[in-house]
Structure 1
Amino acid sequence: MKDIVVIKCGGSTIEQLSDDFFKSIKKLKEIGFKPVIVHGGGPAIKNMLTKLKVETEFVNGLRKTTSEVMEVVEMVLSGPVNKSLVRKLESVGVDAVGVSGSDHHLIEAEPKDLETLGYVGDVTKVNANFVYQLLNLEVVPVIAPVAVNKNGTIYNVNADTAAGAVAKALHANKLIFVTDVPGILKDKKLLETVTEQDVKALINNGTIYGGMIPKVEAALYSLEGSLEEVMIVDGKHSSMVQDGKIIGTTIKSTMEVV
């Protein structure tokens, strides 16, 4: 299905998503795309861990996920965060269904480093047929990045990684990273198309800086295998679909930019 668009919503962005963003999902469906949403939930997980007084730590930028932490991660991602997105989509007339990566073995994973990181998983397989079945029902799947192994053990998977794996497994037309900026800006002007090499140069010369760096690095990381382009779009300030076109910066693995 070349009309599939996988949209990754970061945990820090979810609360800032505008009504126009959800209306944009409806527009995507109306112009023939099949949206699939994969979301994070870091801030909500942090708040719940604090509320429940569950201790946690970060190792090399990843949350060490003990069995106690994993319970909270699954509860938050598959519960309030996931269902909040579903309700907001339904409120603008988009039929949506919330699923966890552990449902029907949608996302399978194995531990990245069980001793050091606990139940943090690397994706090994995506059940594309299950997602296709949902899309054929004309609903928008909203996927929480909780994975499972063949024995039923659950794992916490980075949402960027999960979104990239889902996009590749579905042979998606686009993978879109939703942020709080319109895309990559140079001299206050939106760059509509850049290459992987361009992005690295823009980071080196300071055009891309601060909090934008991890966002574009996550996009670059997804440019592997069959996925040849990703987009960075705005979910906070304006509609990401205008005149039937997705507005933002497209990053291509290789291309001559004219």
Structure 2
Amino acid sequence: MTMSKSMLATEREEKSVVVIKCGGSIINELTDDFFQSLSVLKQNHHVVIVHGGGPDIAETLNGLNIQTEFVEGLRKTSDEVLNVVQMVLGGKVNKTFVTKLFKNKIKAVGLSGCDGAILQAQQIQDGKLGFVGEVSHVESNLLYSLLEQGYVPVISSIGMDENGQLLNVNADVAAGAVAKGLKAERLLFITDVKGVLKDGELLETLTVKEVEKLIDEQVITGGMIPKVKTAVSALSSSLDNVYIASGTSSFCNEQGLIGTSIKYDTKSKECNDERVVSNI
């Protein structure tokens, strides 16, 4: 029996989408609590995972003695580097993640962002950074088909341009694009801490202005700064709530999500979602 468009639309309305971004450094640190939380979340939501793999890419490049060039502090993705990125992200890291999910009784399908042209991208900075791109369009039909069959799509952050050229896409940016493209209810950035802490206590809710103030006051420091800035940049008209949560402890229970929720200020809401279009 095939599902009609109206039936598919009803299914989509019944379960909202949550996009989870996992960096390469946290994937091997994910605990049983993380996967248990994921199972709880999946009971009432469709879940999509987007991942990076920076540490594994760097390790492989070093092992192959491939030199990397930096342009204004940013790594340039040459053709040789891109081959490694494709191999590591779409291969080792992606399949390791899918295997972990399977072991925790979560059905998942590993995908590269170029599969089904999910992440359609454009080269940035006139090619000064090599084969690096930003997402211009999210093809959602394949993702919805998998979600409606109960699978968790696990997407590596490799995009493709209109000519079929693969592009290295920042995983944080890719996750934000997927969340906007699927009109996700929530976007979660998984880290090694529960969220933003002040004097050891979790700050459950922050506005954009409060984030800026805490950075100025040096409450938010070090590696948490790029995390909260990425969360802020992911906010849009359709995505007004982004979480920073833990991959080493529970991030979800029957009462809801556990972590720091970052929202727009009530009086200042700037949208940054014009570039991302979705086939919903």
TM range (shorter): over 0.9
Deviates more, 1:113-122 or 1:170-179: 113-122
Separation in 1 of the partners of 2:126 and 2:77?
Answer: 9
> Post-superposition shift, 1:242?
2.4
**Residue identity matched to 1:28:** L
Separation in 1 of the partners of 2:253 and 2:95?
Answer: 27
TM-score with structure 1 length normalisation? 0.95
Aligned residues: 254
TM-score with structure 2 length normalisation? 0.88
Separation in 1 of the partners of 2:229 and 2:31?
Answer: 24
Tell me if the contact between 2:23 and 2:171 (Cα under 8 Å) persists in the aligned partners: yes
> Post-superposition shift, 1:220?
0.9
Separation in 1 of the partners of 2:67 and 2:185?
Answer: 41
Task: Give 2:35's match in structure 1, choosing from 22, 30, 34.
Answer: 22
- 1:210 is matched with which residue? 222
Tell me if the contact between 1:99 and 1:142 (Cα under 8 Å) persists in the aligned partners: yes
Is 2:100 the counterpart of 1:53? no
- Structure 1 runs not aligned, ≥5 long: none
> Post-superposition shift, 1:61?
4.3
Deviations along 1:110-143, whole A, 9 cap, x unmatched?
Answer: 1102441000001111001111111011100000
- 2:144 is matched with which residue? 132
Deviations along 1:158-181, whole A, 9 cap, x unmatched?
Answer: 000000000000000000000011
Identity of aligned residues (%): 50
- Structure 2 runs not aligned, ≥5 long: 1-11, 268-280
Residue 172 to residue 115, structure 1, CA distance change in 2 (3 Å): closer
Separation in 1 of the partners of 2:222 and 2:97?
Answer: 27
Deviations along 1:219-246, whole A, 9 cap, x unmatched?
Answer: 111113422110000112x111123411
Deviations along 1:22-79, whole A, 9 cap, x unmatched?
Answer: 221111112x011100001000000011111111123244320011110000000000
User: After the TM superposition, which residues 38-187 of structure 1 pair with which residues of structure 2 at under 5 Å, given as runs?
Assistant: 38-187=50-199
**Residue identity matched to 1:187:** D
Is 2:263 the counterpart of 1:252? yes
Deviates more, 1:142-151 or 1:247-256: 247-256
Separation in 1 of the partners of 2:206 and 2:83?
Answer: 40
